[in-house]
Amino acid sequence: MMHGTSSSDFPYAINDVEPEEFAELQKTFNTAFIDGYVRVGPKGYFLRSGYRKEAAKIYNMPLRLDDIWVVSFPRSGTTWVQEMVWMIAKDFDYETSKDVLLINRFPFLEANVINGDKALKKIKELSAGKEENIKVFLSSEVDLAADRPSPRFFKSHLPLSLLPPSLLATSRVVYVARDPRDVAVSYYYHYKLFAFFGYFGNFKQFWESFVKGDADYCPYFEHLKEVWGQRHHANLLILFYEDLIKDLPGSIRRVARFLGKEPSEAQVRALSEHLKFDNFKKNKSVNNEPFMHLSDQNVAKTVSFMRKGKAGGWREHFDEQMAAQAQQWIDDNLRGTDLRFPEHY
């Protein structure tokens, strides 16, 4: 069933994925929890069909000069950078950081369309008595944003072209990037962890889908290259996960400069400690524990939202042939650009 949408307040076509493609997805996805997928615009971004109802609203969302955004492809270190950005922007307010969940301090713009009606039904069933935890999935952040006090913080996994066109001219944006091989491994476990994603394939199959652009928010390189093309924009800071791993205090100082703050060495040291993986993983304000009742309890015995926190862990998941194919795919995509992932070993 083809079903296209585009209108004067949203410039791109939104098309249902072709029936053959959906049938292909069913080989590794239990689509009982999936309403449908769409391809958006010329790059063919792969999103849940619920995105249709929010696309124009997000694209035309009113912005403020002091809004601060963290934008990324999923599993790139978004949560880590959100907490870093929030702490610096709020002058190290550890008390509020502890008392108010990150998801409420730093809302996820398109959270209401990432699941779809079928998954939401399951999520509601699983959340009896915990309705408060799933509020973010139920209402449009664009609507709520109008009443939020400044400075507002937004997280989005949408590519730049699907966000308001005046975003960089108006607000500050921190984009987080990560080696796509580590992203794919992390994303695979994320799909496995939450049963309502319905993923039952193995990693090799997931990797093939990821490269083909058949996972939420793909194609990966288009997402990254859109931002890379704007890398000299004064309102954009691109951070690599690998650099955060290598030099957390240095990354804190870069973010502080970008936000016009001058933290003391002691403040930088304390924030590095707060953001260290072992501490972060235990921190209930950021570790997404309120959503863990939605996880597959078997998978959750060995996998958590904060999983390994390492750069280069992909090597344990790729056989020789996959590693060679991945290198080729990365080389092909980097050719003719000066985009390079930082060495991390």
Residues that bind ligand A3P (CB under 6 A): 72, 74-80, 182, 186, 189, 275, 277, 280, 306-309, 313
In the complex, least distance from residue 65 CB atom to ligand A3P, rounded to whole angstroms: 26
Nearer to ligand A3P, 12 or 207 (CB): 207
Nearer to ligand A3P, 16 or 107 (CB): 107
Phi then psi for 227, rounded to 5 degrees? -75, -40
Query: 298: how many CB neighbours lie within 10 A of its CB?
Result: 10
Q: Are 84 and 271 in contact (CB under 8 A)?
A: yes
Q: Are 50 and 117 in contact (CB under 8 A)?
A: yes
Structure tokens at 196: 């309502």
Task: Give the separation between CA 171 and CA 153, rounded to whole angstroms.
Answer: 10
In the complex, least distance from residue 239 CB atom to ligand A3P, rounded to whole angstroms: 12
Nearer to ligand A3P, 49 or 288 (CB): 288
Nearer to ligand A3P, 175 or 221 (CB): 175
Task: Give the separation between CA 219 and CA 212, rounded to whole angstroms.
Answer: 7
Q: Are 139 and 112 in contact (CB under 8 A)?
A: yes
Nearer to ligand A3P, 72 or 115 (CB): 72
Query: 14: how many CB neighbours lie within 10 A of its CB?
Result: 21
In the complex, least distance from residue 158 CB atom to ligand A3P, rounded to whole angstroms: 14
Task: Give the separation between CA 20 and CA 28, rounded to whole angstroms.
Answer: 14
Structure tokens at 316: 């344990």
In the complex, least distance from residue 17 CB atom to ligand A3P, rounded to whole angstroms: 24
Nearer to ligand A3P, 45 or 191 (CB): 191
Q: Which residues contact 156 (CB under 8 A, 6 or more apart)?
A: 69, 70, 71, 108, 109, 110, 163
Q: Are 11 and 24 in contact (CB under 8 A)?
A: no
In the complex, least distance from residue 179 CB atom to ligand A3P, rounded to whole angstroms: 10
In the complex, least distance from residue 82 CB atom to ligand A3P, rounded to whole angstroms: 8
In the complex, least distance from residue 197 CB atom to ligand A3P, rounded to whole angstroms: 13
Q: Which residues contact 318 (CB under 8 A, 6 or more apart)?
A: 181, 207, 326
| Mode of pairing for the β-strands spanning 10-16 and 4-7 | antiparallel
Nearer to ligand A3P, 82 or 112 (CB): 82
In the complex, least distance from residue 26 CB atom to ligand A3P, rounded to whole angstroms: 26
Nearer to ligand A3P, 75 or 105 (CB): 75
